[in-house]
Every structure is written in C-alpha cells, then in structure tokens.
Amino acid sequence: MKDFFKMMLASCLSNLLILGIGVFVFVALIVGSVATMVSSGENADMLVVKENSVLELDLNKSIYERTPNELDAYLEGNQVLGADVLLKSIRMAKDDDNISGIYLKMSALYNAGWALTEEIRNAIVDFKESGKFVYSYADTYSQKGYYLASVADSVFINPSGMLDFKGIAAETLFIKDLLDKLNVKVKLIRPRSNAFKSAGEMYTMTQMSQANKTQVRTYIESIWNHVVADMSAVRGISVDRLNAIADNLEAYLPADALKNALVDGLVFEHDVLVLLSEQMGLDDYDDINFVKAKKYAQSSIDVSSNKIAVIYAQGDVVQGKGTGVNVYSSVIAKALDDAADNDAVKAIVLRVNSPGGAVVASEIMTNAVIRAKQKKPIVVSMSDVAASAGYEISCNAHKIVAMPTTITGSIGVFGLYPELGGMLKNKFGVTTDTVLTNKNAAALSTMRPLSGEGYDVLVRNVEDFYVTFCQRVALGRNLTVEYVDSIARGRVWTGIDAKKLGLVDELGGMDKALDIAAELAEIDSYSILAYPKEKDFATQLMEILGEEQSLTDVLSKRTDVEKYYEMLEQINNMEPLQARLPYFINF
C-alpha cells in the first residue's frame, strides 16, 4: 500500500511539474507574442526613413507567398519572409527619395521557385528605372539566387565561395525493386489517356516512362531557355556562351565566374559595404542606414475605400481546415465566400502556389470560385506552381495570369492501391482471415489483391473525374472538351506554353493580376485586403493544442531532413484519389 501511495504521489507531482512547465511556456509565448505585436506596431508607426538609406533584402530566409502569421514565424525561427512585403518594399523604394539603392544579401539557402524568383527580379528591374543602384553579395549563390542577382549593377561573391550554374536536372526516385523485395505490390490507377500523369510510376516502374521524360524535358528546357535569355540580356554574354559555361561548370569557382563575367568582384562583405558607402559619398559604411523590407513595407498603409481581396492558396490541397502552409478547402472556400459578400471588395485575386492534392477538396474550392465569380471579378495569379488541383481551382476565374516559368496544367488524376498482405506474411509471419457478408465486402482491403469488381470501380472513379476535370476547364476557359482532353492527359506545361494553349490569359505576376482585377472592377485606386483572415497568436496556439498536438510538437524546431519527412508524411496522408503533380518539384 505504501508503494502504491508513493507511486501515486510521484505521478501527481510529475504531472503537476509538467503542467507547470507547460503553463509557464504557454504564458511566456503569449507574453512574448504580445510584446512582439506591440513592438512591431510601434516600429511600424515610428519608422522614419532617413537620407542615405538602403533597402536591405535579406534573401537567406524561406520565402512564403504571404508574410507568415506570428505562430508560423515563431516555429520557423523568424527566418521567413513574405513575398507580399518583399515586392511592396521594392515598389515603395523606387519612388522614395531617401532610399539610395537596394542591397541584395543572397546565399545557397535561397529557396524560392523560378516563377517567384522572376517576379522579384522583375520588380528590381523596374526599380532600376529610377536610376538607383542595386548591389548583390553572397558567400555562395544558388542557381535561382544567381538568376535573381544577375540583374544587379554589381554582383559580388566571396573569394572562397561557389556559384551553382549548371543547368536544370530533374531526378525521380523509383522504389519498385525495393517494394518487390518486400513483397509489396502497387497498382497505379489512372485514366487510359493519362500517360503523362506519371504520379505513382515510382512505385510501379524502375525508370521514367517515355511520356514523362518527354514532358519533363519540355518544361525544364522551357524554363532554362527563358532564364538564360534573361541573364544574357543583363550580363552581355551570349546564350550559347552561357550554355557552354554551364556545360563545363566554368563558373562554379569564384575565379572562373569572374573570368567569365558572371560576377563583378571577388570580395568579402566588408568590402561590399565599403563600396556602398563610397557609392553614396559617405565617410564610413556605419553611416549607411539599412532598412529592412518587412518594417519598411508595413510602414505604409493603404487607405482606399475600394478593396481588392487577395486570397493566398499556398501548399498542398487538402480537405477541411487546419494549421500550417496548406490549401485547406474549408478555409479557402470561406475566404472566397467572405470576399464575395464584402461590399468593400470590388474584385478578387486568387494567388495560387500549389502542386494540387485531394480531389474532393479541389472540387469544394472550385465550386466556391464559381460562386464568387457570379458576384465579383476574379483573377488568378499563378506563382511557382499551379498544377492539377491547383489548376482546377484556377480555371473558372475571369482571367488567369501566370509567370513564364510557372509550372501548370497537369490536368489529370490518379489513384494508388497497395497490396500489403504478401509483405506481412512473408516478412513478418502475419496472416489475415476474413468473414464476409457480401462478395466484395473486403474488395478494397490492402491485405489482399484487388477483385475484378474493385479494380473496375477504381478505374471508373478516375475516368469519371478526369471527364469532370476536362469539363471544368472547358467551361472556365471557353474551350471544347475535346480540345482540353487533347492538351490535358496529365501533361505539365510552363506558363509560356500554357498561354499558347489557351490555359492562361496573360504572362505576368501579382501586379499584372491586380491591374486586370482593377480594370474589370472599373476602379482606379484600391487597397489590398488579404485572406484568409489572420488569427492572433493565442488563438492559433489554442486551436493547435485543441487538436491534441503536444506542446513539444508545437515548439519543435525544423531540421535539415524535415522536408523529406514532410514528403513522406504527405504521401502517407494522401486521400485515395489525387489530382496533383506526379512528384515534388525541387530544382
């Protein structure tokens, strides 16, 4: 009995201790959040841009489409920057007499996609029309980072750094042989015409299908040809010569990059700051007033009574609602309904950066777009990726704007059926037995091979949705179903090719989409109203905890392998029927 009371007391004390620590951390987070909000609010109100200021764009951080909420920013270690404030700060700096120029701080960690990179690059090109300078520095340039930096007046690199300039390679992982060794069989279910919908081939093949090779080669060559032409124009190096440099890795080492005119100097950052001060006629670089993009952008508040709602849809398409960077169907559908019903909102821009995802979620949001379209002009702005379900939710807008390097299309669907019974029996000695009331009661069980009727149902399912998908596109784009089918079939296109095919209307970024939305709404001035509505830090944290995630999970830091874990987690949590890109793009 004494031992029982000892254990009970110890258990109570440990629980109280854990609770106390949890409460302490929770209160600390809330207090810290409030302090951050007060501080940022004061800084936004008090920010005064002095003479001889330089807009500093620190692009060593992760770039989201939208400035992250406080909780997401906290979980990311405040190493996140929103493209919304980034682009706004560049626009503001162009006409600000106190801003003398832009300083780009690049690194190998730069992670934005090609389309968003080009959008930022175009904003800097526009900024340079003011006659102000742009300097760029990095210890190591990633390939996309260099594409952005190439537009600078002066591009500098650490003498011991590297410049990743080699062209684009697309590699796909195949695990069929591994699954064979494990006695796991996977059936790939897709419409008969969807040879380009290569999702699932990694489980059923040992190399790329010819159709997949064709589409991948087409879109990576389209992207590369476009960005090389851009770099050729600003660096004064022919396209052929740039390709030769890439072929032979003649720019990887800084000395070679300088010799081949890809950079303008091999220096340390201290030297760049000295050059900046000399450019500005200052005695010391300590006299330079560096202005951060986020604070600068937030110091200007739009007050127009006319609003254009910008609805951000970034991440995988998933059903329901939740936290984190995903396109949650309930959240986006509500944002579309709210914006459509808001009298102050004169038009809607749906900003899409998504490879697709769950079919049911896609249908819910597509229906919401069609509802909103009856009330307000709606324009889609495609970022890095707007493919498969990401394209379906876009196709019924009044206008679609994409960047030349946007990945889009992939109009198709697939399903996967794994058979695990063989692995459990042969590798672990686990068998199953089943009692049925009807012949196909266990037809879709992963413990046994698909029955003929089960396979037929899955085939009908993907075939029926593919027809629905093509009809959605045909209606939204004013095309025939037959034509849509001929260019669809799961094939991926760049924005350049998608425009030629009639899948998008204009090439450009968010500014272009906003201009079109304002024109459709017949308004001359407007301010931006961002959706989905942000929740305060405490509400977000309570909702997460209410979803039975532990405080430890909430506070856990990101790791270098997290992106691969997230890929596996996404695959594990995917619904059976998917309309998404056939792979995770990271090139």
Domain with residue 263: its CATH number is 3.90.226.10
pLDDT tens digits, one per residue of 216-246: 999 999 999 999 999 999 999 999 999 999 9
Query: Which of 574, 407, 578 lies closest to 491, judged by CA?
Result: 407
- Residues 6+ positions from 345 with CB-CB distance below 8 Å: 307, 308, 309, 339, 376, 529
360 shares its domain with 394: yes
Residue 180 vs residues 123, 173, 186: alpha-carbon distances, Å: 51, 15, 10
Using CA of residue 191, residue 193, residue 196, residue 201, what is the dihedral sign?
positive
251 shares its domain with 328: no
pTM of the model as a whole? 0.83
d(CA 331, CA 327): 8
| pLDDT reading at 73 higher than 60 | no
What phi and psi values does residue 494 have, to the nearest 5 degrees? -85, 165
- Whether residue 193 lies inside any domain: the answer is no
| pLDDT reading at 9 higher than 60 | no
314 shares its domain with 291: no
241 shares its domain with 275: yes
Q: Is 50 a catalytic residue?
A: no
Would you place residue 563 in the very low, low, confident or very high pLDDT band (cuts 50, 70, 90)? low
| Residue where a domain stops, chosen among 298, 333, 365 | 298
CB 101 within 8 A of CB 54: yes
289 shares its domain with 396: no
- Whether residue 128 lies inside any domain: the answer is yes
d(CA 463, CA 460): 5
- Residues 6+ positions from 566 with CB-CB distance below 8 Å: none
Identified catalytic residue from 388, 399, 410, 512:
388
d(CA 91, CA 400): 23
Q: Which pLDDT value is given to residue 149?
A: 97
d(CA 235, CA 90): 22
> What is the mean predicted confidence (pLDDT) over 457-474?
94
- Whether residue 27 lies inside any domain: the answer is no
Query: Which of 255, 229, 226 lies closest to 114, judged by CA?
Result: 226
Cβ neighbours, 10 Å, residue 536: 15
Q: Which pLDDT value is given to residue 32?
A: 45
The residue that leads in pLDDT, 102 or 49, is: 102
239 shares its domain with 160: yes
Q: Crossing angle of helices 537-546/2-46, nearest 10°?
A: 150
- Whether residue 427 lies inside any domain: the answer is no
**E strand intervals along 107-171:** 133-141, 154-163
| pLDDT reading at 45 higher than 70 | no
Residue 546 vs residues 15, 542, 549: alpha-carbon distances, Å: 19, 6, 7
Lowest mean pLDDT among 172-186, 381-395, 524-538, 563-577: 563-577
d(CA 313, CA 361): 12
Identified catalytic residue from 61, 132, 144, 197:
197
Query: Which of 432, 427, 433, 383 lies closest to 408, judged by CA?
Result: 383
| pLDDT reading at 7 higher than 70 | no
Cβ neighbours, 10 Å, residue 539: 11
Q: How many domains does the chain have?
A: 2
CB 351 within 8 A of CB 310: yes
254 shares its domain with 281: yes
d(CA 216, CA 201): 14
313 shares its domain with 231: no
d(CA 280, CA 51): 10
For residue 487, give both structure tokens: 């260019």
Would you place residue 321 in the very low, low, confident or very high pLDDT band (cuts 50, 70, 90)? confident
Q: Crossing angle of helices 329-341/359-373, nearest 10°?
A: 0
| pLDDT reading at 298 higher than 60 | yes
d(CA 257, CA 240): 16
| pLDDT reading at 573 higher than 90 | no
Query: Could you list the residue range(s) of the whole structural domain that residue 223 is in?
Result: 46-168+211-298
CB 562 within 8 A of CB 569: no
Query: Which of 510, 442, 401 lies closest to 83, judged by CA?
Result: 510
- Residue 346's identity, in one-letter code, is K
Identify the residue whose tokens are 């093949």: 205
276 shares its domain with 390: no
- Whether residue 406 lies inside any domain: the answer is yes
CB 80 within 8 A of CB 61: yes
Q: Is 100 a catalytic residue?
A: no
Q: Which pLDDT value is given to residue 114?
A: 97
CA angle 19, 21, 27 (to 5 degrees): 100
293 shares its domain with 322: no
Identify the residue whose tokens are 């001889």: 52
Q: Which pLDDT value is given to residue 448?
A: 86
- Whether residue 18 lies inside any domain: the answer is no
Residue 491 vs residues 5, 197, 211, 234, 582: alpha-carbon distances, Å: 67, 6, 9, 33, 10
251 shares its domain with 316: no
d(CA 140, CA 122): 22
